[in-house]
């Protein structure tokens, strides 16, 4: 009887030990460290301290008055700019100097000059009444209308910039696909 009890205890300990090691191996295989994982709610508002920029140089003070959706859109734009810059650097590494198009020039100017100017103008309009600097002769409704219009104009500009980036990235993908088709046709023509 004691032998049966000893085997039962030993089996239980072995199953527990192997189960724990298997659980840890599963976590390690998928890149999770047990007890360290923290959940970040994707719908939680973005804080300026959590934001990092890969390519855009933006003034945090000007970003402080933006809506959460606009901050998220700016981060998407920054990510797309990083993708496009990586493509350009890849071409330069291959000693390929692509001709810059008017669309690329305009987008570069929008991203690196005009975006900062638009954010600064929006900041000044959005914070004018809050800081007590609004014109005392201007009504509350007129001030709110200007802020509302500034927010809409900035949103339209951000949407325009993101659309331009999407078009350039689409052209980049189309060019890669075309290059692959040309190489496939070249290889197929030399197999005969």
Q: CB–CB of 75/129 below 8 Å?
A: no
pTM, entire model:
0.69
Q: CB–CB of 77/162 below 8 Å?
A: yes
Count CB-CB contacts under 10 A for residue 107: 19
Give 142 or 161, the one with higher predicted confidence.
161
**What integer pLDDT is reported at residue 16 of this predicted model?**
82
Element (H, E) at 49: none
> What pLDDT, in 10s, does the model give residues 92-106?
888 877 778 888 899
**Percentage of the residues of the chain whose pLDDT score is greater than 90:** 30
**What integer pLDDT is reported at residue 34 of this predicted model?**
64
Exposure string for 39-52, b = 16+ CB within 10 A, e = fewer: eeeeeeebeeeeee
Average pLDDT, the chain: 83
Give 32 or 154, the one with higher predicted confidence.
154
**What integer pLDDT is reported at residue 79 of this predicted model?**
93
d(CA 137, CA 31): 61
Which range of 8-12, 13-17, 122-126 scores highest in mean pLDDT? It is 122-126
d(CA 64, CA 79): 20
Q: Is 133 a residue whose pLDDT tops 70? A: no
Average pLDDT on 107-114 reads 91
Q: CB–CB of 158/73 below 8 Å?
A: yes
Q: Dump strand ranges (E) for 91-184.
A: none
> What pLDDT, in 10s, does the model give residues 50-108?
778 888 888 889 988 988 899 999 999 999 999 988 888 887 888 877 778 888 899 99
C-alpha dist (Å) from residue 119 to 16, 103, 132: 58, 22, 20
Count CB-CB contacts under 10 A for residue 181: 10
Domain ranges of the chain: 1-38, 48-189
For the chain, the maximum distance between any two Cα atoms, rounded to a whole number of angstroms, is 97
Average pLDDT on 11-15 reads 88
């Amino acid at each position: 009887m004691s032998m049966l009890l000893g085997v039962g205890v030993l089996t239980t300990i072995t199953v527990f030990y192997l189960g724990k090691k298997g659980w840890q191996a599963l976590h390690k295989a998928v890149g999770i460290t047990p007890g360290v994982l923290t959940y970040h709610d994707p719908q939680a508002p973005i804080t300026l301290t959590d934001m990092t920029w890969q390519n855009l140089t933006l003034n945090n003070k000007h970003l402080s008055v933006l809506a959460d959706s606009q901050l998220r859109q700016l981060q998407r734009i920054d990510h797309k700019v990083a993708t496009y810059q990586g493509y350009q650097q890849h071409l330069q590494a291959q000693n390929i100097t692509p001709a810059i198009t008017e669309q690329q020039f305009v987008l570069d100017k929008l991203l690196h000059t005009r975006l900062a100017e638009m954010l600064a103008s929006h900041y000044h309009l959005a914070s004018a009444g809050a800081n007590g600097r609004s014109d005392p002769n201007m009504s509350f409704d007129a001030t709110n209308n200007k802020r509302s219009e500034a927010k809409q104009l900035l949103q339209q500009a951000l949407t325009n910039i993101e659309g331009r980036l999407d078009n350039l990235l689409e052209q980049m993908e189309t060019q890669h696909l075309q290059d692959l088709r040309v190489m496939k046709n070249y290889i197929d023509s030399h197999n005969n």
